[in-house]
Structure formats: structure tokens, C-alpha cells
């Protein structure tokens, strides 16, 4: 049975809920609420570093009283974007999270803002429906904010609007139930294929919405865009030189998981309600459990200002069992004390047999620094 969650009764509770939600979406345990009441916040209530991005992301929480029909206005969105453009360090993504209902006109404005690149970041809007869908799939949040509510978790579904594709897409694949059911190898490859299909639906099929669902042993991707059969139109053998990257991703997926996965396409419905439906059926949910052998991550140590911060940054890195080599790409100004503390902590976290390679800007680190850490088993590559 699905529940309709009550909207938090105060803006403080709504902000606290969003803080915990985006910590999980970003997989960033160090995501923080920005300042305190009365302090300038530059339009950002929550900031952190998504595991799938190299730079910070920010969230502004807008509590709207739905009982009075309050909506998030376009003028408010533009105003908050203007404030967030002055946030330091610069944001890569900015999301306005609101208790207001989903609004098609506002979603259209968001798409325009992204298309004309008038802002220094990607901008998204999450309505209460979007937030509620994620909370319902996260037992820790339900327990913390809605104690006692039990939900049917056999089906995982999200409707991704064209105005908020990135965070909603990644949030779906970080839901605990999905993480528990799909092994890391097949999950990572499924993310790549799902991304290509979603990207094609939005950018080429002019879809307004993509629906992702996972039920039993089936991942289903459904969109309301133009007719597109990937099993035929992403046939790499029909494309000279394999120039289509989507075809390459599909061919790679099918060649690796031919024994464990089947993929089917149907065009369902008629007229304006017609939809593309791609189903990926897994015969072995735990296929290829082994994580990738190399973990390659960008690192910007200047997001912290102390050695304690560098320790926390190192502790937050997702190092899974089975990793054979960790490759860290240092970006931004390199402050030696922060880099040194960070590398020490990462090296301590890794088993001795795991290689640690550090890529850095040419002349960014002095020779004596390199010599010291090379003795500890760190390999350096200048670029």
C-alpha cells in the first residue's frame, strides 16, 4: 500500500528533511546546512558534493502552504538563482526544493534556463511529489521523520521531469532496495544504459517525462517522447564506423550480460498518450557482483580549510571491496598541508596491496613532497 506523506508543518522540519534526503542522493555524509537563521546564505540552504560530480551542489528549500494554494513563482526561482550564483565555491548544480505541487509552466521555464545557459550552473526544481517519492523509498528517512509508517517497497518507481533529470535519475539508483538487489557490476552497466535511453528521450524524442521503475527482476524505462525502438535504431552494425555512442553503450551492455539479461521494446498507447517502453529483465540479479577494479575519482581539497576537513573528505570516499587501484585526480589550487593529510588518510584506508595513483597539474607539487609519498607507495603522474 502506498501512502501520501504529510508535508512537514514548519520550514525548519522541511529543511531538515531535505538535508537528510540530499545527503543520501549525493552519497555525501558531509553535506551541510548552510549557516543559521539571520545569516546571509546566497540562496543556498544545503550544500554538498555529489559522488557523481566534481564540484559542489546546492539546494534552496521553499516551504509553500498548499492549503492556501501557494505556488512557487517563476520570479522567485529567478531570484534564488541570482543569489546562488554568488555562492562560494561556485556551484555545479542548484536545486529549488519546494512543498508546492508540480507545475508544468515552471518546468518549462527551467528547461529554458538550462538550454540558454544563462546561469553558471544547472538548475532544477523538485516539487513535493518528487520529494515524497524519494522519501517513501528510503527506510531511514521514513523512520526519522515519519516513525511508524510502513510502505510497500516491492516496486521502485520515479517519474523524472525534463526540468530535473540529473538528481532524480541518480537518486533512483541510490535507493537502498535497488542497491540491495542488483550487484554492483550489473547495476553500474544498467545505469549507463538507462542514462543513454533517458538522454535520448529528452534530447531527441522531446519527451516531457521519463518513468523509471524496478519491480521483481525488471527495470523498466518508459517515456512520452517520439517513437524510438533502441533494439533496432541502436543497432551498431547498421551504423558505419559505430559512430553512434548510444549504440556503443547498448552493444557493450548486451555483449557483457547476454547470459543474464534480456531487453525488449514496445510502443504502448495511441495518439498523444503513446509511450516508449523498454524492459530489461534480469535472470541473475547478482550477476557480476565484483566492483570495478579501478576507482577513478576527482578531488578538490580546497573544499575544506583544515586538516580535520581533509580527514573527513578522505573518510567519505566510496572505496568498495575488490578495488585493485585508486586513481585520484587533484583539481584546484594544491595546498600542501591539505593534500598531505588527505593522501595519508586515503593510504591508511587502503589495503597495502591496493595501488594509489595521484594525477596532479604539472609543477603543482614540489619534488620533495613527491619523494616523501612515493616512499609510502603513492604513485604520481603529472599532467
pLDDT for 197 beyond 50: yes
pLDDT for 238 beyond 50: no
Which of the following CATH numbers is that of domain 11-150: 3.40.50.720, 3.40.1350.10, 1.10.40.30, 3.90.10.10? 3.40.1350.10
Confidence of residue 239 (pLDDT cuts 50, 70, 90): very low
Name which CATH class applies to 182-290.
Answer: alpha beta
pLDDT digits (tens, 9 = 90+) for 145-163: 887 565 555 557 777 766 6
**pLDDT at residue number 221:** 92
**pLDDT at residue number 253:** 82
**pLDDT at residue number 18:** 93
**pLDDT at residue number 240:** 46
Confidence of residue 287 (pLDDT cuts 50, 70, 90): low
d(CA 94, CA 110): 11
Mean pLDDT over the full length of the chain: 79
pLDDT for 192 beyond 90: no
Contacts of 22 by beta carbon, 8 Å cutoff, 6+ apart: 31, 46, 48, 57, 59, 95
pLDDT digits (tens, 9 = 90+) for 128-137: 988 988 888 8
Tell which residue, 84, 83, 102, has the closest CA to residue 93.
84
**pLDDT at residue number 303:** 61
**pLDDT at residue number 275:** 92
**pLDDT at residue number 317:** 66
> Looking up cell 545505469, which residue turns up?
191
d(CA 371, CA 383): 18
**pLDDT at residue number 222:** 92
The strands making up 275-282's β-sheet, listed across from edge to edge, are 155-161, 209-215, 218-223, 275-282, 261-268
Q: What is the mean predicted confidence (pLDDT) over 109-122?
A: 80
User: Lowest-pLDDT range, 39-48, 80-89, 123-132, 294-303?
Assistant: 294-303
User: Lowest-pLDDT range, 113-117, 263-267, 353-357?
Assistant: 113-117
C-alpha distances in Å from residue 62, one per residue of 13, 72, 121, 142:
12, 8, 19, 21
Helix (H, G, I), strand (E, B) or coil at 248: helix
pLDDT for 198 beyond 70: yes
Polymer length of the chain: 383
What cell does 42 get? Answer: 546566497
**pLDDT at residue number 165:** 64
What cell does 359 get? Answer: 594525477
Confidence of residue 288 (pLDDT cuts 50, 70, 90): low
**pLDDT at residue number 155:** 58
pLDDT digits (tens, 9 = 90+) for 44-95: 999 988 876 667 889 999 887 655 457 888 888 889 888 988 888 888 889 9
Delimit the domains of the chain by residue range: 11-150, 182-290, 294-382
Amino acid at each position: 500500500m502506498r501512502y501520501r506523506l504529510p508535508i512537514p508543518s514548519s520550514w525548519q522540519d522541511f529543511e531538515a528533511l531535505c538535508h537528510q534526503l540530499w545527503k543520501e542522493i549525493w552519497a555525501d555524509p558531509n553535506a551541510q546546512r548552510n549557516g543559521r537563521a539571520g545569516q546571509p546564505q546566497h540562496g543556498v540552504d544545503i550544500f554538498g558534493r555529489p559522488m557523481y560530480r566534481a564540484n559542489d551542489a546546492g539546494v534552496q528549500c521553499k516551504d509553500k502552504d498548499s492549503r492556501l494554494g501557494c505556488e512557487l513563482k517563476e520570479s522567485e526561482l529567478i531570484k534564488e538563482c541570482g543569489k546562488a550564483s554568488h555562492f562560494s565555491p561556485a556551484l555545479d548544480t542548484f536545486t529549488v526544493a519546494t512543498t508546492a505541487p508540480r507545475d508544468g509552466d515552471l518546468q518549462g521555464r527551467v528547461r529554458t534556463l538550462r538550454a540558454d545557459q544563462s546561469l553558471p550552473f544547472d538548475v532544477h526544481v523538485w516539487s513535493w511529489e518528487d520529494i515524497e517519492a524519494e522519501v517513501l523509498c528510503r527506510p531511514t528517512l521514513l523512520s526519522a521523520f515519519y516513525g511508524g509508517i510502513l510502505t510497500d517497497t516491492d516496486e521502485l518507481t520515479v517519474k523524472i521531469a525534463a526540468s530535473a533529470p540529473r538528481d532524480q535519475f541518480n537518486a533512483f539508483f541510490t535507493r537502498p532496495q535497488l542497491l540491495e538487489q542488483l550487484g554492483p557490476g550489473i547495476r553500474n552497466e544498467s545505469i549507463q544504459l538507462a542514462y543513454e535511453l533517458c538522454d535520448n528521450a529528452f534530447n531527441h524524442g522531446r519527451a516531457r517525462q521519463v518513468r523509471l521503475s524496478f519491480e521483481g527482476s525488471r527495470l523498466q524505462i518508459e517515456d512520452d517522447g517520439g517513437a524510438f525502438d533502441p533494439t533496432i535504431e541502436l543497432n551498431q552494425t547498421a551504423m558505419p564506423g559505430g559512430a553512434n555512442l548510444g549504440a556503443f553503450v547498448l552493444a557493450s551492455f548486451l555483449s557483457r550480460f547476454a547470459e543474464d539479461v534480456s531487453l525488449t521494446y514496445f510502443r504502448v498507447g495511441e495518439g498523444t498518450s503513446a509511450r516508449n517502453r523498454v524492459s530489461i529483465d534480469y535472470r541473475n540479479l547478482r550477476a557480476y557482483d565484483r566492483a570495478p577494479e579501478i576507482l577513478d575519482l576527482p578531488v578538490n581539497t580546497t573544499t575544506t580549510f583544515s586538516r580535520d576537513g581533509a580527514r573527513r573528505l578522505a573518510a567519505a570516499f566510496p572505496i568498495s571491496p575488490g578495488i585493485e587501484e585508486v586513481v585520484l585526480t587533484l583539481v584546484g589550487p594544491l595546498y600542501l598541508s591539505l593534500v598531505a593529510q588527505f593522501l595519508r588518510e586515503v593510504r591508511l584506508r587502503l589495503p597495502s596491496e591496493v595501488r594509489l595513483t595521484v594525477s596532479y597539474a604539472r609543477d603543482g607539487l614540489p619534488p620533495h613532497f613527491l619523494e616523501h609519498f612515493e616512499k609510502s607507495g603513492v604513485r604520481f603522474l603529472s599532467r
